[in-house]
Structure 1
């Protein structure tokens, strides 16, 4: 076997519910990763299973430096190296093998169609192989006839029974040998896997190799098969002869192997082929129907509004029909696979142009506005009289701020904001909570046409490289404001995309002179080849230097060997306390429960019952040319009517305009000037915050 790497790795198994030692051999030429229970078993040829690498995708965990996955044939295999360096060596070798076979596939696509002479040559080769097989079978017969006593005959016949079948065997042999003449002798890794899987001590040369391949069991629907064979050939009474000589999938010869079946929304229990990049998108077999969006009811259509503002002044874009956004990427998998072949694990995706069809119909700046989908919870922070209650309310608002950001059951990527792009909106709180005087417009605020009792919001893309967004919100009547900046750093993780949200936010209760500094979790787009979904992960903190209260919040990513999605845990501490007075756990897009030191247990937040107050955005004709919806209107419209080509063209025009402006600034040696925010140390601060305006009024 032409291996380029071999050594020990741990492999996750279901039977033991843990990691099991295995000896792995990477066959560079065949595109196979074979594994054995030990190095000794490898020397004896007793293979436990193998993973095909053609069309495979390697994945890594951003929070674990020793594990990695290989996804192929709708199965995910999990491996663990000794340390980060060892994992890097394996990943480098595996990526090289995958790339080699991807290039071979492309060369095959562009190869010249074989001529009649080529066909005749292959036919002659096949005929020669067939003659060799027939001669060997005759030798078998003669040897059996030469056996005088019953004991010799029995010991000779038993190993041969598995291959000595009169007429059916001849047909199988002809079929197996004739196959290369129809496919120009393919060297697919799966065929090599089957041909070499079942070794024998008999000096039979190519005959035993072919016969052994005919005996190999086909893996079942979960990717597991019968136990690994010994070096002797199985007798026909215990042998399960498959219908096809060549397996279609990576396999394991034991039933203790684990695959992430939950990551694939399959409509049946039977295994499906991972769509090959060489195939035409959208063409599927009857048993391989495209994945469909799960039936879910989103709470995002619910709204609360006081009805005091004429609805005609505002854009109804927020009430968009998302029915068409839930389909999987199955029909575009060839594009996704091509994209994956261009990037490497851990690669920064900031400068990678992603395909248009995965875009959500709004800008990232607008997505940040969803932090205030519950503005009533935000302003209620300032209504608490006790610093302890204010910290609890900050945590409650913070934990409620993430679920509204998902506009559908399938993850999509918002538009990357253009440098200088801005987004304005506001929320009108329920009228019964507002005082009559708070209905006056705020001409000096970020959104001059909203009232003092409203929560106004503004965001700006203040930097393009690195991509940094700054946003600000305030409510004058409650004397509360929020300022934040986030630098999004994307990383390719194989089957996932990780987005590190670097930056911080600050909630300021101006009447109490309190400032709550908070950080943001990382985001992960999982299962990017099937039905993408989003999860949050990482440790976040909230702290107030004046009161001394703090909170630690952990967004737990789903472990591959069990556990729930979207879990969070939080601990809230008093000043100088080492033990928390409140513990929170649950799901950030579901119900979260609080446990208090008094022994009381209560529902902390139930996001399913929280009514989302819809933001109000000016109609397109009233917006400035650099406002988000105005900038992206052509892309949004074409995505809505599913004209992907037109959407891509509109997106390209925007990006080219941005590049041209950047070149012009470079030639003129002019620095970009932000519109509404300025840099203050490592932070980006709104130019005219409520705190600054209140101070100026006092003087």
Structure 2
């Protein structure tokens, strides 16, 4: 019925643009008809035109839309089909796509279910067949390897059978030997035992040799398989990036086309009249308020008709040529190796005991080629956790993802003993990953004494992260304590849930003697100010005498009444998982005399796992894949961006002597600018108070407010940066480099 299977690619972006390619040979038949699809609690079920073709279920507002705007597509090969009641059923692919559908009658629903199940079975079969054909070239080598491995496994099985056989015979001989009396047949029995023991030993040696050969062969081919798997992953990532750019460009072009051109009558919606041609140009099914269907308007029909190629031709999806699409930028994967420069640490640090390190000039030898603003932006390495949190329906489950995100920000510090550059006042850093990851981030150094950095990030996936961090550090002789002050806030657009938390203390050990190592210790309370939910996280300090795993983190998610719902556990340098609490009870007293609470939980679910470090990271300051890209030169950024900082650039290039000289120049320039601001502030003040702080510096992109939700005073983004970047106008930026 469906003919030869054609490969299809389905992509969905925030603008609800779905692009799929189907070869004409695959479009041999289709099933179409009206169904009611659940949109939201305001509009309820809305009538939509559904098309089932070649294992793909797509829907449109009307039949006329089939030629230009597909509202959604779900691949049945990976979908689950469930029946809810007489007329309702649900189709879900286990991810973000879930269609709640309703037919006009039970008969119509059963017709759809039958057609969907049949299409799913065919899609699964054809997909497996197509995958087998696509990989036939490479499968030949894999099959050959598998045959060799199977041969070794058979050798192991044969040796195992012989061992069992000879072992049983040896056991019988030993039993007989124990039962006989001393006599003439003693020598014969002993000879039999000796022969069987020899056979057993020979067979065991063969078994060991076969195992050795098997392991050697598996180890050799394991490296090749890992390399092949990595190649497949890289190809998939490139394909996803290309599709993302294709989808965004198509969405932009479609909106521009709608704004400048009136669609012909054959593509307009008669139910909308003139509103259909002059709408907002948004392809979203749920966000358009210009249309409403009565729940019982015209009974739905199930029709089977031949597919019209003009509605499914891949060429109808593009109004402009593909060459106008900009390729995704390929980020760098290496930086120059760290030079092996020796410097006596104690000769410098002995004069710093008990002092605030931010006020002491330090050579770049102790640094890594990143500024504190860039290190702050590294908190977004696991932004996917916030993407997943934005999709959660339950605020308590959302809290688990937010808590895991707070822990993940420490995973980049486990080997990072280098000190980041102290940002100059007015220095900025942008991390624009809108095209690749859906978010944009901006940091600015808003204060110098005390040093404070403001950070703002927003995502198209529906979340905003903002933080203001002030670092206080003290050198205690044997170790260095770094205490981050200030709060971090995360707001989700859909639910308006507003979270806030603070960072824990970082300790650098073995300052004088031994190898430097870092520990995180303290407690974090993540608070949802809207619902009252709370997650209490505890970072256990390292102890030589403790039996717990090092870098352990535990947490409990409670509601506003203090009832526990989730338990989190893991380590801040490796992974986190959470379990749903079914029952809690008071247990025995702990070591401190406090009564412990025992939680009965369901099976733990992994929520976060650290990404592996890139190859050669030990020679590149132990930077992660994201950190390697942060100081990469980029056109169009502000003149105050950390990438343009000369001493940091010289250090990355390995020219440390020049970097130290440049660092002193920049610091002196900053001090001169501050003295000038203080003189101007004194002149402007009518009656300056003695001893008052006279620096009148104002941040460029952030403003200080009292947050009414969290009660915190912090700098928040006031806008204008990305608009200035689009216009290429940076006249307002100070000259700090």
Q: Which structure carries more helix by proportion?
A: 2
TM-score by length of 1: 0.47
